[in-house]
Every structure is written in C-alpha cells, then in structure tokens.
Amino acid sequence: MILIGLGANLPSPEFGPPRATIQRALEALESAGVVILARSDWYSTAPVPASDQPRYVNLVAAIGTDLAPDDLMRLLHQTEDRFGRVRGARNAARVIDIDLLDYDGETRGSWPLLPHPRMTERAFVLVPLRDIAPEWRDPVSGTDIDTLIAAAPDRDGVRAIDNDEAM
C-alpha cells in the first residue's frame, strides 16, 4: 500500500480554502496518472508544534502508481509547487503539503526517506491513516497504529470535520 498525507492551513489565491485546495491537488494527482484507491475522512488539526497558526485540514490517501518512490516524490513536490507551496521555515503555515508516508512498507535511509520519518509521532497523520488502513503497522518498529496514536503528543488536537463544514 502506498500512502500519502495531505494538509493545508492557508487559503490558496487560485484554489480557495484549504479543503478545496487539497481536493484539487488530489484531482491533479489523478490527472497525472495516480489512482486514488481510498481516502480518509477530513480532519481539522492543531498545528505541530503548537503555535498561533490557523488549524490545518488533513487527510490521508492510499494510492496506486507505477512510479518508483523517488519519481513519486518528485511528482508530489511538483504538485505542491503548482498549488503555491512556498518552502520556508520548517513547520510554517502552508497552502499545501503533500507527504509520501509509506511505500509498500519499504524502508529507506536515502531520499525519499521511508516511511516518513516523523509520521509515527503525528496524530494528524495517524488518525486519518487509521480510517483507511486500521491494520497498518510501522514498517520500522512493527508498532500498531492504535498504540502509536495513543502515544502521539498531538492526539487531542485532531477532530473530524463534518462533510458540510467549510474549511
């Protein structure tokens, strides 16, 4: 299973609020040949680390692609660029963020690092991931997703977004 995480907490001048921007980014990935196999519910999440930034909108998708991890990562970065991602300070507010979380359980110490090196510490990734892959285990430690969520410091900042809720 190939997993990507998408998040945003700033509106895009071209694509609108974070939720609309993420939806359009998924559509752009599909237009590039990526198949969206499953996607989580929408979540509103507190910024990590805690700050006065706006809350994020997040989701996780399982995808199908013939692209190798490095080619997929390049496509994800190109999509972020197309949607107005400005790379600046780490953990800065952003119009779009697309992360390669897991690529069929592969572990890599070179770019792109797999699994994503901080995903197991982030409830804003793990909670939506559980929606589509409740049996997922960290490929490095073998730890199950429920144990990881219980240990995540940001677990109290994650809440489901009602389908009619604008964000």
Its sign, for the CA torsion 45, 125, 93, 161, is negative
pLDDT, block means (10 residues), the chain with 167 residues: 97 94 97 98 89 93 98 97 82 90 96 96 97 97 98 93 67
pTM, two decimal places? 0.94
Report the pLDDT value the prediction gives residue 163, as an integer from 0 to 100. 65
Show Cβ contacts of residue 120 under 8 Å, excluding neighbours closer than 6 positions: 126, 138, 140, 141, 143, 148
Given 19, 99, 122, 138, the catalytic residue: 99
**pLDDT for position 100:** 98
19, 24, 39, 97: which one is catalytic?
97
With a CB cutoff of 8 Å and minimum separation 6, the contacts of 42 are 19, 57, 58, 59, 160, 161, 163, 167
* C-beta atoms surrounding 142 within 10 Å: 7
CA 131 from chain centre, in angstroms, equals 13
Question: H-type helices in 44-139, by residue range?
Answer: 69-82, 123-132
Taking the alpha carbons of 121, 124, 130, 133 in that order, is the dihedral positive or negative?
A: negative
Question: What domains are there in the chain, each with its CATH number?
Answer: 2-160 (3.30.70.560)
**What kind and span of H or E run contains 107?**
none
- 71 classed as catalytic: no
Look up 99 and say whether it is catalytic: yes
Residue 154 is a catalytic residue: no
User: Active site includes 137?
Assistant: no
Q: Which of 19, 24, 39, 85 is catalytic?
A: 85
Q: Find the catalytic residue in 94, 122, 130, 154.
A: 94
Please report the beta strands in 40-87, taking only residues with DSSP state E, as ranges in sequence order.
43-45, 56-64
CB distance 143 to 120 below 8 Å: yes
- What SS3 state is found at 133? coil
